[in-house]
A and B are shown apart, each in its own frame.
Chain A
Amino acid sequence: MAIATNAAAACLSPDSISEPNSSEKQVSPHQTMSAEAAENFSLAEVLHLAHSSVKTLKDFLDKLETSVGDDFHQIMDRISQTREDIKQLNTKDNDICPIMDAENELKLVVKATEDATHRIMEAAETIMTADANDPASYHRTVEQNVMDIFEACSFQDITGQRINRVVETLDFVDYRIHKIASFLGLENSSQSREFDEAAFYEKLKRKDALILHGPQDKADAVSQSDIDDLF
């Protein structure tokens, strides 16, 4: 109690102590005060000390509230921004940011490559086993199968487009993850990779305007016979 009393005393200047009015002199039985403190200070001094302490405490709490509030706002902003970045990674909004199903694209690439390889090998095997004793028939067989090899090679165009879409998706995901990591302080901003987000969105808008969907899954694609009907 002596420490508290000394501290309280240090807060008081003699000029600031005024005579308490009659009501201030009434001390409730619930008010606790040690006998020693009661002996050293008048009731007015104690009340003034209490008033001063409350004010000091209030100022402290006010500052604390502002500071803590700012911190919470910053945390909220960060959570909100991070949530937005994660949402961008998952978005399926085809109007603005189509995040393609990279896994499905790669499966289709594998399938197309496999089909083309089989087709080329079959054509080559047919040529190898063709009967050369009949020159006319042999020539026809070779010609047909060489044409088949040409057609089969067209897989490269379609798989190329699919792989480009996967690369674009991975670039975007990579950029977003780096952005989130940098934002959360998990990565030095100087380590962040370069990515032109404006150009990325501009490209998406252009694709939308010029109806550039790229190769479709068979289930989503219109067949050649349906196209023929339109013509």
Chain B
Amino acid sequence: MAIDLQMPVLVVDDYKTMIRIIRNLLKQLGFTDIDDAADGTEALEKMRQRPYGLIISDWNMEPMTGYELLKEVRSDEKLLKTPFIMVTAESKTENVIAAKKAGVNNYIVKPFNAATLSAKINAVFGV
């Protein structure tokens, strides 16, 4: 099964540089519809306006963190099935376990490379 490269992807990060980096990496991987949000609150608003095929979110953001966003998404009937990848510098085991318990599909530690991002996206979609 191939990944639908036309599906809308939402990148959530409070660092504009990181959004730009992930956008460029996704473009390199062939994704064409990439949107972004600066924190969990903005992401949630966008997700309620439009369905996304994949969320790639940072953890450490204000006012709503990626972890809070994940829990909101998983508790919302309309959004709960949206694939969610956490891309973060939070690299303690307790963070990974907490994210997994909250329903994250995969977890990438910063700094990362295009190959890792590609591999995790493939894993989420069972490719």
Contacts and interface: CB of A to CB of B under 8 A. Distances in A.
A is bound by B: yes
Contacts of B59: 212
B67 A157 contact: no
A160 B123 contact: no
Nearest to A160: B15
A140 interface: no
Contacts of B90: 211-214
A154 B95 contact: no
Interface residues on A, range: 20 to 34
Contact of A156 (B17, B25, B93): B17
A134 interface: no
Contact of A212 (B60, B100, B112): B60
A168 B92 CA distance: 21
A230 interface: yes
B69 to A, nearest CB: 11
Contact of A222 (B15, B96, B98, B110): B96
B7 to A, nearest CB: 21
A224 interface: yes
Nearest to B106: A231
A81 interface: no
A230 B91 contact: no
Contacts of A216: 89, 91-92
B108 interface: yes
B113 interface: yes
B97 A230 contact: yes
A151 B21 contact: yes
Most B CB contacts (10 A, CB to CB) among A158, A211, A230, A231 go to: A211
B32 interface: no
A147 B100 CA distance: 29
Given A161-B89, A221-B109, A210 B21 contact: no
B28 A143 contact: yes
B25 A161 contact: no
B18 A210 contact: no
B74 to A, nearest CB: 16
A213 B89 CA distance: 9
Nearest to A151: B113
B114 A211 contact: no
A60 interface: no
Nearest to A207: B60
A103 interface: no
A5 to B, nearest CB: 83
Interface in A178-231: 210-216, 220-224, 226-227, 230-231
Given A153-B21, A212-B65, A224 B114 contact: no
A172 interface: no
B65 A150 contact: no
B111 A151 contact: yes
B91 A155 contact: no
Contacts of A221: 91-92, 109
24 contacts: A147-B113, A147-B114, A150-B24, A151-B21, A151-B25, A153-B17, A154-B112, A155-B111, A156-B15, A157-B13, A157-B18, A211-B67, A211-B94, A211-B95, A213-B90, A214-B60, A215-B89, A215-B110, A216-B89, A216-B92, A222-B91, A224-B112, A227-B109, A230-B96
The 4 lowest CB-CB distance pairs between A and B, nearest first, are: A221-B91, A215-B89, A157-B15, A157-B18
